[in-house]
């Protein structure tokens, strides 16, 4: 199954934050990502299925930053005036056609430059969830998707790290070190 629905645009207002993740205003999505980027709030979601496989997505070829790179299940931004809880559920449904309970893991600040085109400069909140139902991708956002086991993912990251987004590599390393055993020890999924 696949949909082709525009769910994001360069003019949407994102939440600007300071070095402590305190809200300080807003700028357009385009302004937040041009040049070296402007620090703004974002999120990343990691969804596992009942077989302890992670849902990966390949970013659409039309993305200005890191097109056709593999990344975590879903990543985006809360819009100005929108809570993080609203944003993560909204975007998961818009990109992948499902929702599931999500739990906050941690947040971190990072900067990643994509040549002269632009950058991600984000205070990123990281969430995880479990899901075993159907996936209905939005092809305006996602070029491909797949479930992958932890060992296979580790091999791919070691053999071809250049195929993955920089934030995914940072987040996965942190999750692997600090959360993975407890996440995979949980049982039960919704869907």
Active site residues: 75, 122
CA separation for the pair 60, 65 (Å, rounded)? 10
Side-chain half-sphere CA neighbours of 24 within 13 A = 11
Side-chain half-sphere CA neighbours of 142 within 13 A = 26
In order, the DSSP letters of the chain are -EE------TTSEEEEE-TT--EEEEEEHHHHHSTT---EEEEEEEEE-TTSEEEEEEEPTT-SSSTT-EE-SEEE-PBTT--HHHHHHHHHHHHHS----EEEEEEEEEEEEETTTEEEEEEEEEEEEEB-S---EETTTEEEEEEEEHHHHHHHHHH-GGGB-HHHHHHHHHHHHHTHHHHHH----B-
């Amino acid at each position: 199954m696949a949909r082709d629905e525009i769910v994001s645009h360069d003019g949407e207002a994102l939440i600007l934050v300071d070095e402590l993740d305190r809200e300080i205003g807003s700028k357009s999505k385009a302004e937040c990502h041009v040049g070296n980027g402007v620090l703004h709030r974002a999120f990343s979601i990691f969804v596992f299925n009942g077989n302890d496989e992670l849902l990966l997505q390949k970013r659409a070829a039309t993305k200005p930053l890191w097109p056709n790179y593999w990344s975590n299940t879903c990543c985006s931004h809360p819009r100005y005036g929108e809570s993080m809880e609203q944003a993560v559920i909204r975007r998961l449904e818009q990109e992948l056609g499902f929702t599931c309970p999500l739990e906050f893991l941690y947040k971190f600040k990072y900067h990643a430059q994509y040549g002269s085109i632009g950058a991600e400069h984000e205070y990123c909140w990281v969430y995880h969830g479990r899901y075993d139902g159907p996936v209905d991708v939005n092809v305006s956002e996602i070029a491909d998707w797949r479930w992958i086991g932890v060992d296979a993912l580790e091999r791919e990251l070691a053999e071809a790290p250049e195929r993955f987004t920089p934030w995914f590599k940072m987040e996965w390393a942190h999750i692997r070190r600090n959360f993975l055993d407890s996440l995979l020890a949980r049982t039960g999924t919704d869907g």
